[in-house]
């Protein structure tokens, strides 16, 4: 039986079950780790014949559904810090706008693609590697290098970063996260994530999660829900902009993906509750490192085709 569906903006047909499966897989990761999954789904869609620009834009649309579903699930579990999410979101929007201009300057200089690819590999490598090592140490019950509030760590001299964030004014207590910190810190970090997300062309979830864990020192379960909350708004903005300016959102594609991803996100949220924070971190680290290696191979190995359509990641 042919279960093909025609995607009017992508101008191609795809198997419905394949799309549901891809959506389900990415939704699972989204609910489990608090990432949008764009860094994984967009290349997969391109691999199955969707034009890169349509893949990236429609992916944002489906992430709206997955993150809405995931945020709701985490909200029910009491895992969303709305105050922190809002500050990060404001920073992210500012940084995103700044990043778009930065990309424009880099493109005019002719080396945007080089910067984007290198940033991608370096960021994925550093974040994935650090998370992997740190989580492995925690799982082995050895003290983590920076962010455990163990009695031993309190005796150490605070790092420059720790001294800096305590010195900054406008301290706010974030109840859900259980931390007291200047709102300037999440604002600036949100801005940094926005810049990186704009340069790399992704929602930034996989950068956001480690930053929340290691720099804002939020508990892992709150991190996932709060990250999804922030991604929800970022992707609403991207979807509307892409539909309005580039006409590249394929709603039929997004609708099938989101059906899969919303279910996947629910399952992911339930699994995340049963896992320890370090287990979630190490799983995410492995995925980030696999994507990094795949990208690195793409940069080093001879490509099958020398020409490609414009757009995508």
Partner 1 sequence: MSRLPCKGLIYLLPILVFIFVFSAFRAFSQTSPVGIDTIQPQKIYIDSFFSGQKVTVRAMVPFGDKVVLRLLGPRENLALMKKGRVGGLWMNVEQVHFQSVPKVYLLWTSEKLSALGTRDSLKAMKLDYLSLLSGTLQNKKNRGEESLLVSELIKLKEADKVYHIFEGAVQIKPWERRVWDQADAVLELPSKIYPGIYTLELIAFKEGKGRLVHASTIEVKLAGFPALVSNLAARKGLLYGTLAVIIATFSGLMIGIVFSSRGGH
**Which is closer to partner 1, CB of 10 or CB of 282?**
10
Write down the least CB distance from residue 270 to partner 1, Å.
7
Write down the least CB distance from residue 97 to partner 1, Å.
18
Do the Cβ atoms of 227 and 221 come closer than 8 Å? no
Interaction site with partner 1 (CB under 8 A): 2, 4-6, 8-9, 11-13, 49, 61-62, 64-70, 72-73, 76-77, 111, 113-114, 117, 232, 236, 239-245, 247, 249-252, 254-255, 258-259, 262-263, 265-266, 270, 298-310
Write down the least CB distance from residue 164 to partner 1, Å.
35
**Which is closer to partner 1, CB of 157 or CB of 302?**
302
- Say which residues have a Cβ less than 8 Å from residue 234's Cβ, sequence separation at least 6: 89, 92, 93, 96, 197, 203, 204
Write down the least CB distance from residue 86 to partner 1, Å.
18
**Which is closer to partner 1, CB of 42 or CB of 239?**
239
Structure tokens at 215: 């720099």
**Which is closer to partner 1, CB of 82 or CB of 251?**
251
- Say which residues have a Cβ less than 8 Å from residue 22's Cβ, sequence separation at least 6: 41, 44, 45, 257, 260
Structure tokens at 74: 């985490």
- Classify residue 271 as exposed, middle or buried by CB count within 10 Å of its CB (0-12, 13-18, 19+): middle
What is d(CA 215, CA 220) in angstroms, rounded to the nearest whole number? Answer: 12
**Which is closer to partner 1, CB of 58 or CB of 135?**
58
What is d(CA 117, CA 201) in angstroms, rounded to the nearest whole number? Answer: 11
Write down the least CB distance from residue 288 to partner 1, Å.
20
């Amino acid at each position: 039986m042919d279960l093909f569906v025609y995607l009017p903006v992508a101008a191609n047909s795809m198997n419905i079950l394949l799309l549901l499966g891809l959506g389900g897989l990415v939704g699972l990761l989204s609910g489990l780790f608090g990432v949008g999954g764009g860094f994984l789904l967009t290349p997969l869609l391109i691999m199955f014949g969707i034009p890169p620009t349509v893949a990236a834009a429609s992916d944002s649309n489906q992430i709206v559904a997955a993150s809405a579903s995931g945020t709701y699930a985490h909200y029910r579990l009491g895992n969303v810090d709305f105050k922190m999410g809002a500050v990060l979101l404001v920073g992210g929007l500012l940084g995103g706008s700044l990043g778009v201009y930065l990309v424009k300057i880099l493109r005019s200089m002719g080396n945007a693609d080089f910067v984007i690819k290198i940033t991608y590999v370096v960021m994925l490598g550093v974040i994935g590697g650090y998370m992997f090592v740190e989580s492995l140490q925690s799982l082995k019950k050895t003290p983590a290098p920076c962010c455990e509030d163990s009695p031993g760590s309190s005796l150490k001299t605070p790092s420059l970063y720790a001294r800096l964030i305590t010195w900054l004014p406008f301290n706010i207590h974030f109840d859900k996260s259980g931390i007291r910190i200047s709102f300037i810190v999440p604002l600036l970090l949100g801005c940094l994530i926005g810049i990186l997300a704009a340069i790399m062309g992704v929602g930034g979830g996989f950068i956001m999660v480690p930053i929340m864990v290691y720099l804002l020192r939020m508990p892992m379960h709150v991190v996932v829900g709060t990250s999804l909350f922030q991604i929800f708004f970022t992707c609403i903005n991207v979807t509307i902009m892409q539909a309005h300016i580039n006409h590249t959102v394929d709603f039929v594609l997004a609708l099938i993906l989101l059906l899969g991803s919303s279910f996947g996100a629910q399952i992911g949220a339930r699994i995340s509750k049963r896992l320890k924070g370090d287990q979630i971190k190490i799983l995410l680290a492995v995925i980030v490192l696999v994507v990094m290696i795949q990208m690195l191979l793409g940069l080093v190995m001879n490509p099958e085709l020398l020409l490609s359509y414009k757009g995508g990641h």
